[in-house]
Amino acid sequence: MNLVDAQPRDLDALHALVESAFRGDSARLGWSHEADLLDGQRTDIAELEAILADPAQALLMLRDDAGVAGCVSLTNKTGGLAYLGMLTVDPRRQASGLGRDILAAAERVAAERFEANRIELTIIPHRTELTAWYERRGYRLTGETRPFPADDPRFGLPKRDDLIFAVMQKLL
């Protein structure tokens, strides 16, 4: 699997992919979505541009004959830690192994490019199937939680008032 660095010309397609996989009826085509928990946007072009502009971050994508199949973002944190976010697979192609392959490739990039020895992510714990999916790939809940930015519509519009982020981590 060859993830490539996204370029500014890719942002419209990546934005459309992320929105289709996380929000609205199109997200329901896949097994993993937030459409029952959140309305509104998942990201915007400005956030994607900021990732591209930051040397401590990477926005990686998988393109094949059918177009953009998936993406993931990485952030280089301190102390050998990388943060994984926005792991996305086209909802029509979920359950095909692409997510597993993108995750493994992103972990290799984090280790090679950022010299990370650990990787973390945050997950809405109500998404129990997704938590279990990450656990099958070696991630463990740390017990740490972080507040969900419910008052910032850039992250979505919560459909419930008990959303939080749980932290998961894996040794690389």
Predicted confidence (pLDDT) at residue 64 exceeds the cutoff of 90: no
Range from 31-45, 56-70, 133-147 that averages highest in pLDDT: 133-147
pLDDT band at 30 (very low <50, low <70, confident <90, very high): low
CA torsion angle 158 19 44 126 (round to 10): 30
Architecture, CATH, for domain 4-171: 3-Layer(aba) Sandwich (3.40)
Exposure class string for 17-55: b at 16+ Cβ within 10 A, else e? bbbbbbbeebbeebebbbbebbeebbbeeebbeebbeee
Residues 102-124: tens digit of each pLDDT:
999 999 999 999 999 999 999 99
Q: How far is CA 57 from the centre of its chain?
A: 13
- Of residues 55 and 152, the one with the higher pLDDT is 55
Map out the domains of the chain as residue ranges. Answer: 4-171
Rounded to an integer, what distance in angstroms lies between the CA atom of residue 10 and that of residue 7? 5
Residues 10-19: tens digit of each pLDDT:
999 999 999 8
- Which one-letter amino acid corresponds to residue 47? E
Rounded to an integer, what distance in angstroms lies between the CA atom of residue 77 and that of residue 83? 7
pLDDT band at 27 (very low <50, low <70, confident <90, very high): low
Q: Residue 115: enclosing H or E segment and its boundaries?
A: none
